[in-house]
Amino acid sequence: MQNKKKLELLAPAGDLEKLKIAVLYGADAVYIGGEAYGLRAKAKNFDIDTMAEGVKFAHDHGVKVYVTANIFAHNPDFEGMADYFKAVEAIGVDALIISDLGVFSVAKEAVPNMEIHVSTQANNTNYKSAQMWYKLGAQRVVVARELSMKEIRQIRDSIPEDMEIEAFVHGAMCISYSGRCLLSNYLAGRDANKGACAHPCRWKYHLVEETRPGEYMPIEENERGTYIYNSKDLCMIEHIPDIAKAGIYSLKIEGRMKTPFYVGTVVKAYRQAIDDYFADPKLYEKRLPYYLAEVSKASHRDYTTAFYYGKPDGNQQVYTNNSYIREYDFIGMVQEDWNEETGFAWVEQRNKFSVGEEIEVMPAQGDSYAMKVTEIRNQNGETVASAPHPQELLQVKFEKPVKKFDMLRKRPTDVK
């Protein structure tokens, strides 16, 4: 059954700046973490005050906010949890994302009128579990990343029409089943299931024979070693029609730990792809190379469709390194709207750029465009040749109007 309503684009927001970028660049909803109970403890996350500011900003732009509370709770975790949920509800958060049945029960008792979405951490791999969550009061289920399109269609056809399906469509893949992993806890003492994953799946591994300690043997015979757990990144931007036909409603982008540039770039590309598909499927087909080129301008690993079209065959891993592909540098963000009289706008520098270089302006709305940097001024109004200092505020001359939160990017000198 295809969705009767337009797809929701759900974006990550690791802090307030990223939330605002996700909203302005086209997200229909954002998911954020509070200071407790979420699975991204290393993200800056939101205290109640910044969460309230973020919710107001999002709601002013017609965007929903979902808060993660998807840890696997231990007994001490329940202290203060009910009060936290009540505070979150009071500031207008639209839904909680929960994986643990005990946490679910606390939420239903503390905030009975609040929407609950069942996290992918709950291993939602079949329609029976989705039906059970619905009976308990969940409005949405986030399906496991190990499911195929066919399996998701079967779930959609077997659950109530008003229950929504959310699925990851872009970003880093977890090597462990739907993110339930004990490797980090065992190797680094950091519990992935309580938000502190050390990402050991990205490390290089060798074999050691017990009678020969200190003698490391490559797992795969290669002078560069091997990264046996290192998955490629998920990218489904070329498969929007299949996503819609499978009955997926919410398209989730991974990346609360990623940069503002990543969030803006990926969200904007998916926004354009979804809008083009619903306006004119032929236009969407025609622009497929453009969408893929755009998401590739954000730092990424090689792309894969993961489990959507069948079980992985080994080509979904990157065995030679754990680094990212970086085709563009994020060099600056506009801090206030363009001054029509002077042609300048204030920019916060994020990477070095110089007069004479060709850069790209990526506006929140509309197509990106190239321009040459003709003039830069420092905070004293003095003309300078380059912007070498991190987060320095500068005036940059633009050929066209720019707005706050528009971003600047350029190709690194080592990329041809």
pLDDT value of position 412: 82
DSSP classification of residue 257? T
DSSP classification of residue 412? -
For the domain made up of 8-176+231-304, give the CATH fold: TIM Barrel (3.20.20)
Mean pLDDT across 314-339:
75
Amino acid code (one letter) for 358: E
Distances (CA, A) of 181 to 219, 232, 326: 22, 18, 28
Segments of the chain assigned to CATH 3.20.20.70:
8-176+231-304
* Alpha carbons 264 and 359: distance in angstroms, whole number: 17
Cβ-in-10-Å burial (0-12, 13-18, 19+) of 245 comes to middle
pLDDT value of position 82: 96
Percent of the chain with pLDDT over 70: 82
pLDDT in tens, 22-79: 999 999 999 999 887 765 555 567 999 999 999 999 999 999 999 999 888 899 999 9
pLDDT value of position 362: 95
Which two structure tokens, joined as six digits, stand for 405?
């939160």
pLDDT value of position 5: 64
pLDDT value of position 350: 94
**263 against 320, higher pLDDT:** 263
Distances (CA, A) of 50 to 14, 18, 22, 41, 53: 12, 12, 16, 16, 5
Among the ranges given (241-245, 300-304, 395-399), the one the predictor scored with the smallest mean pLDDT: 300-304
Whole-prediction pTM value? 0.85
Mean pLDDT across 115-140:
96
Q: Which CATH class is domain 329-410?
A: mainly beta
pLDDT in tens, 173-211: 776 656 666 666 656 777 766 567 777 766 676 667 778
Strands (E), 70-139: 95-98, 115-118
pLDDT in tens, 327-364: 899 999 999 999 988 999 999 999 999 999 999 999 99
Segments of the chain assigned to CATH 2.40.30.10:
329-410
pLDDT at 366 over 60: yes
Question: At 50, which helix (H) or strand (E)?
Answer: helix 48-60
